[in-house]
Structure 1
Amino acid sequence: MRGNVFIIGLGLIGGSVALAIKQHHRDVRIIGYDVNQKNVQLAKMLGIIDEDCDVLEEAASKADLIIISVPVIETERIMRTLSSMDLKQGVIITDVGSTKQGISDTAKCLTNKGICFIGGHPMAGSHKSGPGAAKARLFENAFYLLTPNEETDIEKIEQLKSWLEGTQANFLVVTPEEHDRLTGVISHFPHIIAAGLVQQAKNYNIENSLVSRLAAGGFRDITRIASSSPVMWRDISIQNKTVLLDLMDDWLKEMERVKSVLIQDDAESILGFFKSAKEFRDELPVHAKGAIPAFYDLYIDVPDYPGIISEITGYFAQEGISITNIRILETREEEIYGVLVVSFQTDYDRSKAEKCIKHRTNYGTFIA
């Protein structure tokens, strides 16, 4: 592919898409725009973009592909702004937002003028943010959902896939409605549940401070997604409100059923509830990337002495293994050995780290 690609929003996702395109299409020129000038300067210094612009119209008018990588509400504003510009014939405009129905409705301001818009959602992320965390392989093997409207030319969809081929993602074409239902079930609603569990623990912690200490282990892991950006999840919840309200009704019915069998001491139904959930979860793909970024944790039994963390991280540094997070499980504080939990961005990095520990130490390792 040849031409100009205009990235609006130079954060983690926008920067990673830019890098993936640059590495795969060597003759493409990447132009970047961001309201945060520090992001622009860093993106240029890191070679994520080839040039920057101060005014949207400067780059938009000569772009062959425009990628909007900003929060959904801001995306809709930018789409309306672009619709009033004199854009290049045949340009494709796409976004990377987590909700699609509202975006699709707003896109009519573009499509009614003959401008091609194809919604997009790369289902990958990272613990880090900003252009400094961008990487070309962020979307490798992840699902990348495309949500064209019924009138979209198939050739345009294939052209967008070609532009994005460097992401090495698995493209799926779905309707905007189907997208919001799917992501509501396996991403948006789980974030609400996680936040609800944390709020409940917070309330009980007022009565007994042991709650926060005991929550440092498994509870912290299963609610980790509750640490995501509150502003982002406020916007997603509002944008996907209809789907989320339906899912809440279904959830409440299920919880009422569980409550009923508990009251009745119906052991068989209680067993069935847990057994059914276990069987379905055990059948889920282990190595595939889904809607919620996976956390690749390695548990290491380590002796409790000063410098143990720097020792472990030193081994990883020597072998070029990057980590995203590190912590000690506090619930084992009375024992001679503790559990060090190290998080990695990919299964490959975790596997490499496990081999490193087994080769260099006699510490036991465990993958949950």
Structure 2
Amino acid sequence: MTGRVFIIGLGLIGGSLALCIKSEHQKCTVVGYDQDPEQARLAKMLGIIDMATESIEEEACKADLIVIATPVAAAVKMVHTLSCVPLKKGAIVTDTGSTKQTVSRHGAMLREMGVEFIGGHPMAGSHKSGVTAAKKILFENAYYLLTPEQGTQSAVLEQLKGWLAGTKAKFLTVLPEEHDYMTGVISHFPHLVAASLVHQAAAAEKDSEMVGRLAAGGFRDITRIASGSPEMWKDILVDNRDVMLQLLEGWQSEMNRVAGLLHSSDADSIRNYFDQAKRYRDGLPTSEKGAIPSFYDLFVDVPDYPGVISEITGFLAKENISIVNIRIIETREEVYGVLVISFQTEEDRLCAQECLSRHTDYETSVG
């Protein structure tokens, strides 16, 4: 496809989309804007965009596709800004936010101007942020939800998919309200629960100083999503508050049910409770990306001697296997001396596991 693409917001998502679009549509021009001029400068220097601009209005009116890759609240404001610009007739505007009802409702202003607005949500992320973390493979095999309003012509939707074909994502089309409920269940609410578990541990530490030390192992793993951006999650929860309140009521009911099992000391029912959860969880797809970015961790049981970490990383480096993060945990289910290595993809983790099995006798596991 040829034309002009304008990316507003040059963080991880915006930068990665720019790379995908440039790769798939080499004859198009990709222009970028970010409120932080340094991000725009880096994006241009790294070849992520063809041009950087300091004026949204000046570039928006030339674009065939506009991607708003900003936080939710900023995206709504940007739609209002664009509604005051003489955009090209037939241009397509999309966003990348985690909630869709509000921005889609405001997108009606653009549709009245003869401009198509289709909400979008690429379900992918990374341990890193900023344009320097942008990767062309970020969205590969991830779900990319598109939320056109009723009445949107199928040809326009296909055109947007064409622009985004370089993501190699799996496109799903849902209504904005359906999107917000589904992502509330499997993304927004788990982040809230993780944050509440951290608050509970912090409160418990006032009574026992050992809590913080013990929480360095498995507890840290199951609550790692609580380390997300507070500003971003504030916007998401406020925007999706009706769904969150509904889910909170359901959660409170579920916890009351558990409290009832404990009060009755019904061992069989408690076992069944965990058994049902285990069977559902074990039946979830293991090779597909979901709403929460996956953490491809490899656990390596290592002996305690000087140089063991550099030895392991050396083996991986020789086979050009890139490491995202590395750390040591003292305990994991009473196993001591565990090295945790994080990778960008499942393929990298598998290659690393095979590499270490060839060069060492260390036991490895994936969780």
Relative to the length of structure 2, the TM-score reads 0.97
> Which has the larger displacement, 157-166 or 296-305?
296-305
Summarize the alignment of residues 64-213 of structure 1 with structure 2, pairs less than 5 Å apart: 64-213=64-213
Paired with 1:196 and 1:295, the residues of 2 have a C-alpha distance of 21
1:29 aligns with 2:29: yes
Give 1:341 deviation, angstroms. Answer: 0.6
1:348 aligns with 2:347: yes
- Structure 2 residue runs of 5 or longer lacking an equivalent are none
1:17 aligns with 2:17: yes
Q: Which residue of the partner structure matches residue 292 of structure 2?
A: 292
Letter in 1 for 2:272: G
Paired with 2:260 and 2:325, the residues of 1 have a C-alpha distance of 41
Give aligned pairs, total. Answer: 366
> Which has the larger displacement, 139-148 or 295-304?
295-304
State the SS of the aligned residue for 1:310. helix
1:366 aligns with 2:356: no
| Cα deviation 1:213-247 (Å, max 9, x = unaligned) | 11111111111101111111111010100000000
State the SS of the aligned residue for 1:303. coil
Letter in 1 for 2:362: Y
| Cα deviation 1:23-80 (Å, max 9, x = unaligned) | 1111111000001111111111111000011101121111110000011111111111
Give 1:164 deviation, angstroms. Answer: 0.3
Q: Which residue of the partner structure matches residue 303 of structure 2?
A: 303
Conserved 8 A contact 2:90-2:116:
yes
State the SS of the aligned residue for 1:300. strand
Paired with 1:208 and 1:257, the residues of 2 have a C-alpha distance of 28
Q: Which residue of the partner structure matches residue 239 of structure 2?
A: 239
Q: Which residue of the partner structure matches residue 283 of structure 1?
A: 283
| Cα deviation 1:191-211 (Å, max 9, x = unaligned) | 000011111011111211211
Letter in 2 for 1:352: C
Conserved 8 A contact 2:261-2:270:
yes
Q: Which residue of the partner structure matches residue 331 of structure 1?
A: 331
Give 1:175 deviation, angstroms. Answer: 0.4
> Which has the larger displacement, 358-367 or 195-204?
358-367
Paired with 1:363 and 1:278, the residues of 2 have a C-alpha distance of 28
Paired with 2:365 and 2:331, the residues of 1 have a C-alpha distance of 17
| Cα deviation 1:141-200 (Å, max 9, x = unaligned) | 000000000121111000000000000000000000000000000000000000111110
Conserved 8 A contact 2:331-2:338:
no
Give 1:306 deviation, angstroms. Answer: 2.6
| Cα deviation 1:319-341 (Å, max 9, x = unaligned) | 21111211111237x98x61101
> Which has the larger displacement, 107-116 or 22-31?
107-116
Give 1:279 deviation, angstroms. Answer: 1.1
- Structure 1 residue runs of 5 or longer lacking an equivalent are none
Give 1:291 deviation, angstroms. Answer: 0.2
Paired with 1:229 and 1:245, the residues of 2 have a C-alpha distance of 21
Conserved 8 A contact 1:213-1:331:
no
Paired with 2:189 and 2:344, the residues of 1 have a C-alpha distance of 23
Letter in 2 for 1:188: H
Give 1:297 deviation, angstroms. Answer: 0.8
Identity among equivalent positions (%) equals 58
Letter in 1 for 2:125: G
State the SS of the aligned residue for 2:149. coil
Paired with 1:61 and 1:315, the residues of 2 have a C-alpha distance of 52
Paired with 1:41 and 1:131, the residues of 2 have a C-alpha distance of 10
Paired with 2:200 and 2:114, the residues of 1 have a C-alpha distance of 50
Paired with 1:347 and 1:338, the residues of 2 have a C-alpha distance of 23
Paired with 1:271 and 1:239, the residues of 2 have a C-alpha distance of 38
Paired with 1:134 and 1:360, the residues of 2 have a C-alpha distance of 32
Ranges of 4+ aligned residues in structure 1 off by more than 4 Å? none
| Cα deviation 1:104-161 (Å, max 9, x = unaligned) | 1111221122210000000000000011110111000000000000121111000000
Letter in 1 for 2:352: A
State the SS of the aligned residue for 2:261. helix
Give 1:315 deviation, angstroms. Answer: 2.1
> Which has the larger displacement, 109-118 or 138-147?
109-118
Q: Which residue of the partner structure matches residue 315 of structure 1?
A: 315
Give the CA RMSD over aligned residues: 1.3
Give 1:305 deviation, angstroms. Answer: 2.2
